[in-house]
Amino acid sequence: MMSSSASVRSMLRIVRIVRSPGTRLSDRKMSTNLGSLERVNPEERKINLNPDKVSAEDCIALEDAHGAQNYRPLPVVLAKGKGCIVWDTDGKMYLDFLSAYSAVNQGHCHPKIIDSLMTQAQQLTLTSRAFYNNKLGEYCAFMTEKFGYDRLLPMNTGVEAAETAVKLARKWAYEVKGVPSGKAKIIFAENNFWGRSLAAVSSSSDPESYTNYGPFLPGFESVPYNNFAALEKALEDPDVCAFMVEPIQGEAGVVVPDDGYLKKVRELCTKKNVLWIADEIQTGLGRTGKLLCVDHENVRPDIVVLGKALSGGVIPVSCVMASSEVILTIKPGQHGSTYGGNPLACAVAKTAVEVLIEEGMIENSERLGKILRDELKQINPGVITNIRGKGLMTSMTIPEYENHSAWDFCMILKENGILAKPTHGDKVRLAPPLVLTSDQLYTTIDAIADTVKAYERL
């Protein structure tokens, strides 16, 4: 980290890129006009904050002193967001290329989502499920019609929804499939990530996630991701009731399976009478250029799990959708959540999905994601390798050396006005809000090119 905010500010250089679609990186003309980043009023390009408020350094010190140390954030303290742009406490502007791990697909503080939040917050926020409210039924009907499922079970966080899917699979195993009591097994893919609960880490192959949290839940087994032969063998066991998998593994480094893998998974699960659970918490809701990532192969899971961008990054909202046969295995009093299905969440989530579809964000993700990966391949194949992804869900591998790594790469990228984070050591995930503009994309590409040059000089 730089020694002072002034030093950090002096290093920030955000450029405007003027180019035609066919122009190569080296042919671009650059200027220092910030106006191309977003339709933001000039006075908003650097926001004025109260000089008497706590400094960025104090914010970090307070959190370090009084908060749990379970994250390692980049040393930047954010205070405002609009679309793809965020500002720190000094008023410096960045392009957000993490989107809160794909929770802010619709852009920071989308005005329609915020309007829904404010309107509903003045009417009714929480009833619990002890009573009906006037928003949950409308929300369930909207979602099941849009995604093609019979029923929706509302939860709050992604891990709650994923764990609900696991509970549903076990219920279905005993009450529909006829698996002997206590014998149901669920198959997961190695290197999965669906949260930090005890059930989630019981299925994990990442030592950082599971070390010293045992004993773990029984009945969980794993097969290598994208290994269909291994899955076939695992599903020979008649006690297997479900296979839960991410259509693209996000936290593992944006690992994309072979074309046709998901279609074969669908066919095999149908043949073996096994529920296919698609964890679309990170890949769903337009992130990969389709409403759901499984839509790339035109297949339908038995259970789909959504979270993160379901609220547009406003409040925690998640859900599980499935057939009546699956969801109605849970009877009143057997599972629930005080906040799940609250009217505030229902109003916000419905609007968040509407704007995603109506404003062309899914198509924008598909179009700009392809350009991003094509442009990354032109920069420096000696430094940026293993570029992969779909839509605006991309990762690249950065070489690690004795004294610097992908973390240092992201630190330099921050100084160049782009916020991203490494995952699994040498991989950098690039996942901006889906409202990204072409100008913002090319600004980012040049910032990455500058970062590569600086990284080579370390």
Cα four-point dihedral sign 21, 24, 28, 34:
positive
Of 308, 350, 421, 427, which residue is the catalytic one?
Answer: 308
**Using CA atoms, how far apart are residues 219 and 207, in angstroms rounded to an integer?**
19
SS3 373: helix
Of 92, 97, 243, 279, which residue is the catalytic one?
Answer: 279
SS3 39: coil
Q: Which residues contact 187 (CB under 8 A, 6 or more apart)?
A: 221, 222, 223, 231, 234, 235, 240, 242, 243, 244
Candidates 154, 222, 153, 152; CA nearest to 194 is 222
Of 97, 147, 193, 243, which residue is the catalytic one?
Answer: 193
**Using CA atoms, how far apart are residues 92 and 367, in angstroms rounded to an integer?**
29
2 and 12 in contact (C-beta within 8 Å)?
no
CB half-sphere exposure, 293, CA atoms < 13 A: 32
- 279 noted as active-site residue: yes
Q: Supply the DSSP symbol for 35.
A: G
Q: Return the number of other C-beta atoms located less than 10 Å from residue 54's C-beta.
A: 13
- 243 noted as active-site residue: no
**Using CA atoms, how far apart are residues 44 and 37, in angstroms rounded to an integer?**
12
Query: For the residues of 330-344, what is the DSSP string, one character each?
Result: SPTTSS--SSTT-HH
395 and 321 in contact (C-beta within 8 Å)?
no
Q: Return the number of other C-beta atoms located less than 10 Å from residue 130's C-beta.
A: 6
- 115 noted as active-site residue: no
Q: Which residues contact 147 (CB under 8 A, 6 or more apart)?
A: 291, 292, 304, 321
Q: Which residues are catalytic?
A: 193, 279, 308
